[in-house]
Amino acid sequence: MMRDKIARRVAQVPPSGIRKFFDLVANVEGVISLGVGEPDFITPWHIREACIYSLERGYTMYTSNYGLPELREEITLATKRDYGVDYSPENEVLVTVGVSEAFDLAIRALVNPGEEVLIPEPSYVAYKPCTIFAGGVPVSVPTRAEDEFKLLPEQLEAKVTPKSKVLVLSYPNNPTGATMSKRDLEAIADIVVEHDLVVISDEIYDKLTYEGKHVPFAALNGMRERCIYLNGFSKSYAMTGWRIGYALGEAEVIEAMMKIHQYAMLCAPIMSQKAALEALRRGNSVVEEMRQEYNRRRRLIVKRLREAGLECFEPKGAFYVFPSIASTGMSSEEFAERLLREEKVAVVPGNAFGEGGEGHVRMAYAASLRDINEAMSRLERFLSR
């Protein structure tokens, strides 16, 4: 017999719930998918055109491990302009292959074997597995619909132990659409200080906020030095396929992350960096147009879900709604599978997003108004059976 080939750390992580559902959906024709976690817009033309131009001029080489200096400069300028948080383009920015890579680097740079990483759930699916791959121990912190899926200080406090090292924040949130106001975050910051935690804040949906103004965790008093601030281009600029994002933080952590990045990735693709530069320089008005369009879809889908009889927290950011399906008596998976089979509408079962996701499904409103309307009519028919 051959010995166990796959490392235990990898083998112990179960297959992704999203992946499983993807395979199911792939076998059905004529599906309207509200299961897609990416914009339905194509990258704005001026950004694509800037990339083409850079290729014509021959920009096909490696860049500095940290990323193109002009892009780092532009990232720090934008962060200062939008949020008043100041980072040095020299050594406090790292351009990465998406926020995905940035998160992986941050976790690997921070966590020693056995140290605990606090993850509010429901949450984006990558945090837990990446923590395990890095040898850390993920600890779920529940958030609930009745609290608008905000992270409450008492819920967090209850899960802190002497082994806690990192807290992951992710607002606006995938899958719930929750946001955290300055006041909400300040209550969390107190606990961060008290227990000497480091925060990885994934703010990839910052520009897709519909009520109130987005506040980066790093903008709070004293939090800049405790926070690795992640952001990217995938969602706000509709650039998922470009694989480009960045991390901001104090030189010490950014250098540690760069140490891994330089060997594992070397650098982010130069063509994507060139496109990102154009996005930051001239993309703001298109982002705002897309935000307004998402906002119209958000109003529509929440209204229709409620008319269909599903209880639903009104999301304040990102492009997801996370209605409760508890009233149907079905589990999330059963609901999603039957809705797919019987009415050809794809949604993602809530349990794919961790504890507290059961009893919900995630619907992405990154779809046309027409498709959302049709999907909601099918849902109504499904629920009235």
Smaller CB separation from another protein, 40 or 104: 40
- Cβ of 349: how many Cβ atoms within 10 Å? 26
Peptide bond into 120 cis (omega under 30): no
Smaller CB separation from another protein, 37 or 67: 37
Q: Which stretch binds ligand PLP (CB under 6 A): 95-103, 216-224, 255-263, 326-334?
A: 95-103
CA 207, 247, 202, 160 dihedral sign is negative
List, edge to edge, every strand of the sheet that includes 227-232: 93-96, 245-248, 227-232, 198-202, 164-169, 116-121, 137-142
- Cα(299)–Cα(241) distance, rounded to whole angstroms? 28
Smallest distance, Å, CB 118 to ligand PLP? Answer: 16
Taking CB within 5 to 8 Å according to partner kind, which of another protein, ligand PLP, none is near residue 31?
another protein
Smaller CB separation from ligand PLP, 33 or 376: 33
Give the angle subtended at the CA of 215 by the CAs of 213 and 221, to the nearest 5°: 140
Q: Which among 114, 110, 206 has a CA at the least distance from the CA of 167?
A: 110
DSSP string, 192-234: HHHTT-EEEEE-TTTT-B-SS----GGGSTTTGGGEEEEEEST
Q: Is 331 in the site for ligand PLP (CB under 6 A)?
A: no
Taking CB within 5 to 8 Å according to partner kind, which of another protein, ligand PLP, none is near residue 170?
ligand PLP
| DSSP conformational letter for 62 | -
- Cβ of 347: how many Cβ atoms within 10 Å? 26
CB 333 within 8 A of CB 265: no
Taking CB within 5 to 8 Å according to partner kind, which of another protein, ligand PLP, none is near residue 133?
none
Options 94, 95, 204, 310; binder of ligand PLP; rule CB under 6 A: 204
Q: List, in order, residues 6 or more apart from 151 with CB less than 8 Å away.
A: 120, 141, 143, 169, 180, 184, 188
Smaller CB separation from ligand PLP, 304 or 349: 349
Site size with ligand PLP, rule: CB under 6 A: 13
Taking CB within 5 to 8 Å according to partner kind, which of another protein, ligand PLP, none is near residue 206?
none
Options 35, 67, 177, 232; binder of ligand PLP; rule CB under 6 A: 232
Smallest distance, Å, CB 368 to ligand PLP? Answer: 20
CB 93 within 8 A of CB 66: yes
- Cα(297)–Cα(26) distance, rounded to whole angstroms? 25
Taking CB within 5 to 8 Å according to partner kind, which of another protein, ligand PLP, none is near residue 98?
ligand PLP
Token digits for 275?
A: 């496109």
Taking CB within 5 to 8 Å according to partner kind, which of ligand PLP, another protein, none is near residue 234?
ligand PLP
Helix (H, G, I), strand (E, B) or coil at 313: coil
Options 43, 174, 176, 332; binder of ligand PLP; rule CB under 6 A: 174
Smaller CB separation from another protein, 209 or 273: 209
Token digits for 374?
A: 């049709």
Q: Which stretch binds ligand PLP (CB under 6 A): 25-33, 83-91, 94-102, 211-219?
A: 94-102
- Please report, as residue ranges, which positions from 236 to 265 form the binding site for ligand PLP (by CB under 6 A): 240, 245
CB 322 within 8 A of CB 177: yes
Smallest distance, Å, CB 40 to another protein? Answer: 7
Smallest distance, Å, CB 12 to another protein? Answer: 20
Taking CB within 5 to 8 Å according to partner kind, which of another protein, ligand PLP, none is near residue 136?
none
Q: Is 98 in the site for ligand PLP (CB under 6 A)?
A: yes
Q: Which stretch binds ligand PLP (CB under 6 A): 58-66, 98-106, 155-163, 281-289?
A: 98-106
Give the angle subtended at the CA of 372 by the CAs of 384 and 36, to the nearest 5°: 110
Taking CB within 5 to 8 Å according to partner kind, which of another protein, ligand PLP, none is near residue 357?
none
Residues that bind another protein (CB under 8 A): 16, 18, 21-22, 25-26, 31, 33, 35-38, 40, 42, 124-126, 174, 292, 296-297, 299-300, 303-304, 346, 348, 369-370, 373
Contacts with ligand PLP, residue ranges (CB under 6 A): 37, 98-100, 124, 170, 174, 202, 204, 232, 234, 240, 245
